[in-house]
Amino acid sequence: MVSVAILGAAGGIGQPLSLLLKMNPHVTRLNLYDLVNVPGVAADISHINTNSTVSSHLDKQNLGAALTGVDIVIIPAGVPRKPGMTRDDLFNINAGIVRTLAEAIADYCPTAIVGVISNPVNSTVPIAAEVLKARGVYNPKRLFGVTSLDVVRASRFVRDIRPTVDASALRIPVVGGHSGTTIVPLLSLAEPRFGGDEVVQAKAGAGSATLSMAYAAARFTDSVIRAINGEDVVEPAFVSLDADPHGAENIRALGAGSLEYFAVPVQLGKEGVQRIVPVPSVTPFERKAIGVASAELQKNISKGVSFTQKAK
């Protein structure tokens, strides 16, 4: 019995994600919310003959109903990149969207596990955290930036170099954040590639990764559900290091220093983050990359935090 709300369900990620979660046998209720087109998406998806119930929630006055009683909220609402843009260029629009949605989460489902997909994740997660803190309902164990796509991509890219490996079985740890140089795949053999930029360029103005992201978000959501149901699951995510201060010591020693948020492998449990999984060792090359990532990440996090403070 798991209820999931998708905020931004009619978008490029939201539609295939809704489809994939409709096919997940553990999901009993799927609440789809968007400012446009969501009645059609919900009607379409609801005809798939799996047991879950799908409901449509159009426009802000129905946001509370979309969130009431849900266990998991996934947020792909917001604008995607066009060629030449960085994820940080999306800040001005998406920061306000995530703030509004986080306020509603605080009001209607303060104990839900929340996965933020909207970019720039390095800043939107701190924004959501600050909103939840201000409303007295923040639990660092329950807020995630969804970085699963970075691991999905890293695994697939390694297969390009080593065609004999099974890409679906590979889990390359990716630490840091979710943009440009803050994404640090911990594999010295991997050729540096900027997966997100490749998709943005190939789509030539029609958006960024949607289908692979929907797959990654469906995998993330399934991991959260399996953990709620008692399974032992490890999933990468951009989380507050306060969620497991002991586990975070190792990550801080790798170069995260005093950063509040970092992408790490997370062992999930019923309450969200159960444990930050230690990264055994890194090469000197990777340590240097983590240093570069941390400097950029600090700026992204501070930008998110000061956005919420300015709004007070």
Judged by CB under 6 A, which stretch of 32-40, 126-134, 276-284, 304-312 contacts ligand NAI? 32-40
Does the footprint of ligand NAI cover residue 304 (CB under 6 A)?
Answer: no
CA-closest candidate to residue 17, choices 250, 222, 293? 222
Category of 121 on φ-ψ map: left (φ > 0), alpha (ψ -120 to 50) or beta = alpha
Distances in whole angstroms, Cα of residue 32 to Cα of each of 1, 37, 111: 17, 11, 19
Q: Which positions from 192 to 211 touch ligand NAI by CB under 6 A, shown as an x/- string? A: ---------------xxxx-
CB of 4 closer than 8 Å to CB of 29:
yes
Active site residue 26: no
- Tell me, letter by letter, the H, E, C secondary structure of 214-243: HHHHHHHHHHHHHHHCCCCEEEEEEEEHHH
Contacting residue, 4, 32, 112, 149, with ligand NAI by CB under 6 A: 149
Binders of ligand NAI among residues 127 to 146 (CB under 6 A) are 146
User: How many residues interact with ligand NAI (rule CB under 6 A)?
Assistant: 32
Stretch 12-31: interaction string toward ligand NAI, x if CB under 6 A:
xxx-----------------
Give the N- to C-terminal CA distance of the chain in Å, as an integer.
38
- Give the separation between CA 59 and CA 46, rounded to whole angstroms: 19
Output b/e per residue, 218-245; b: 16+ Cβ within 10 A: bbbbbbbbbbbeeeebebbbbbbbebbe
Catalytic residue among 26, 47, 57, 178, which? 178
290 is in an annotated binding site: no
Out of 5, 113, 117, 282, name the contact with ligand NAI by CB under 6 A.
117
- Which residue from 306, 217, 226 is spatially nearest to 274, judged by alpha carbons? 226
In the bound state with ligand NAI, the residue whose beta carbon lies nearer, of 203 and 252, is 203
Q: How far is the CB of 108 from ligand NAI (least distance, A)?
A: 14
To the question of whether residue 275 is assigned a binding role by annotation, the answer is no
Which residues of this protein are in contact with ligand NAI, per CB under 6 A? 7-8, 10-14, 34-36, 76-81, 90, 94, 97, 100, 117-119, 121, 146, 149, 178, 207-210, 213
Catalytic residue numbers, as ranges:
178
